[in-house]
Amino acid sequence: MKLPSSPRVGRVILIASALTMALPALLPQAAQATVGDQRREVERIVDELDRLHSQADILAEDYAEAVDTKNQLTLGIAAAEQRVAEKESELDSLRGDLAEVAIRAFTGNGADVLGPLFSNADQYSEGLRRDQYSRVALSVGTSTTDDLDELVSDLDDERKDLESKRAQVEALTVTIADKQQQTESLTTDFIQRRDSAQARLGVLIEEEEQRRADEAYAKLQAEFAASQRAVANTSANQGGGGTTGGAATGGSSGATVGGATSGGTNGGSAPAPAPAPTINVPSVSGRAGIAIQAAQGQLGVSYRYATSNPGVSFDCSGLTHYAWGQAGVYLPRNSRAQAAALPRVPAALAQAGDLLFYYSPISHVGIYLGGGQILHAPNSGTVVKISSVSWGKVTAVGRPG
């Protein structure tokens, strides 16, 4: 049976045919659009995770600083209380001695403790008698009642200092509780968002983070190489004589950058009018291996704010404080103080045992293991572990001795 034809049927057939022919060309474009959208989504998520993690670390460091300050103040309070007690005892004793001498001198009771000088007290002024009474009472031969006034003033200052420290501790107690609550809230938010992103996009998140780390490290190397070339050019223009390899003090012949040795000594036949700029880097301490081994012994130990308890819990600076302490090197108790106390080296010259500091203001620290790996106690609800270095977040490198 022949189906009736119509203009509408013909148009449908033509449209279907056109779509059939065009579909293979449209599918790659759609796929490309999907991949591009996914990449942008991954980048947006990693940006947000970085922002949250940075904020959480900064708050955690603020918390650790407040706890450290409070602990120091608590020790200061104990010392101030001891000084106040000693001065109060000294003051009570001095007042008692002065009172006894005054009573015995003016009433004539007891022995003449002032000696023959006052056998006729009317011959001497009141000021002279007052001075001599205090000399006898203090039994030091040169003190006067001014010492009593000075002691009272010192005691007053000590009491004011003690009250100031107590007030600071009270204020810090409130600050610590607030910082801890904010840090825990933000850290929880970060963990939940990262877990959600990992569940949806899996390895793409890690690949993007690694890509950024590699890109940042390549940039560091390029910048360092450029600075070395500038130093070499300066040395050549001045006639030579400057060391341009970033050589470490202590005998290193050149700086290693990206696995290759760059630099050496550029000489010239004519003496240079002035030495060329140099990059002096402290030599790597032989204790670095001990510090790394100590830190490795704490792998898997839980993270906890403002702690440094081997086998129990650490925060980031607590781990570095402990590890280098095992090597016989004292480090302050928070990452900002550690960064301020250590000599800096260029990030491109970081070597095993160096401390890598993150963010501005500095709010995280870990021990560099070499090969782009860091051993640290991250504020992410996890444990002491080894991770890839986020070179884009590294703002300083310190070398303990």
Q: Among residues 294, 301, 316, 348, which one is catalytic?
A: 316
Helix (H), strand (E), coil (C) string for the chain: CCCCCCHHHHHHHHHHHHHHHHHHHHHHHHHHHHHHHHHHHHHHHHHHHHHHHHHHHHHHHHHHHHHHHHHHHHHHHHHHHHHHHHHHHHHHHHHHHHHHHHHHHHHCCCCCCCHHHHCCHHHCCHHHHHHHHHHHHHCCCCCCHHHHHHHHHHHHHHHHHHHHHHHHHHHHHHHHHHHHHHHHHHHHHHHHHHHHHHHHHCHHHHHHHHHHHHHHHHHHHHHHHHHHHHHHHHHHHHCCCCECCCCEECCCCCEEECCEEECCECCCCCCCCCCCCCCCEECCCCCHHHHHHHHHCCCCCEECCCCEECCCEECHHHHHHHHHHHCCCCCCCCHHHHHHHCCECCHHHCCCCCEEEECCCCCEEEEEEECCEEEECCCCCCECEEEECCHHHEEEEECCC
321 is catalytic: no
Q: Which fold has domain 284-401?
A: endopeptidase fold (from Nostoc punctiforme) (3.90.1720)
Q: Among residues 87, 321, 336, 364, which one is catalytic?
A: 364
Q: Among residues 212, 376, 393, 399, which one is catalytic?
A: 376
277 is catalytic: no
150 is catalytic: no
Q: Tens digit of pLDDT per residue, the chain (401 long)?
A: 554 555 555 555 555 555 555 555 555 555 455 667 777 888 888 788 788 777 778 877 887 777 778 778 788 888 878 877 877 777 777 666 666 655 555 555 554 444 444 444 455 455 555 555 555 554 444 445 666 677 777 777 878 887 887 787 787 777 777 877 777 787 788 878 878 887 888 788 888 888 988 999 999 889 888 888 888 888 788 765 444 444 333 333 333 333 333 333 344 444 444 444 445 778 888 899 999 999 999 999 999 888 999 999 999 999 999 999 999 999 998 999 999 999 999 999 999 999 999 998 999 999 999 999 999 999 866 899 999 999 999 999 999 97
